[in-house]
Amino acid sequence: MYERSRNIIDCHIAGFTYYDGLEVIDQLTLGAIVTLKSEPENPHDPDAIAVYLGETKLGYVSRAKNSELSQLLYFGYGDIVEARINSRNLEANPEAQFRIVIKLKDNRPKDTGSE
């Protein structure tokens, strides 16, 4: 049976070298959950979305991919998405070492099997 993808964005963590990712690099494993926070007051990009692991800022969602997601977060719909580390390559350039995937959460009712 065909199942459509829930993935809405897949991108590198932009600006990784400028933030504190090295402090938590051992925790940035495949599948690790990261948090997204809208930064509408960001002087460089009003659509900026910061990526965090706990309280540690890792960088940003790519500017080329943040516009629609920024609107969702800004207006309080962040609970409909989830973000995880989906690629890790420590041999790559620091700006390309980590990728995240952002998915729509599956909020459909679970099949109870009572039919």
45 occurs within a structural domain? yes
1 occurs within a structural domain? no
Q: What is the pLDDT of residues 62-110, one digit of tens each?
A: 999 999 999 999 999 999 999 999 999 999 988 899 999 999 988 888 7
111 occurs within a structural domain? no
2 occurs within a structural domain? no
As for how many domains the chain has, the answer is: 1
Which is it for strands 98-104 and 81-88: parallel, antiparallel or unpaired? antiparallel
Residues 1-7, mean pLDDT to the nearest whole number: 76
115 occurs within a structural domain? no
Q: What is the pLDDT of residues 28-56, one digit of tens each?
A: 999 999 999 999 999 999 999 999 999 99
90 occurs within a structural domain? yes
Residues in CB range of 59: below 8 A, 6 or more apart: 13, 14, 15, 16, 18, 19, 21, 50, 51
CATH number at residue 59: 3.30.70.2330
58 or 114, greater pLDDT: 58
114 has a pLDDT exceeding 60:
no
Domain boundaries, position 75: 7-104
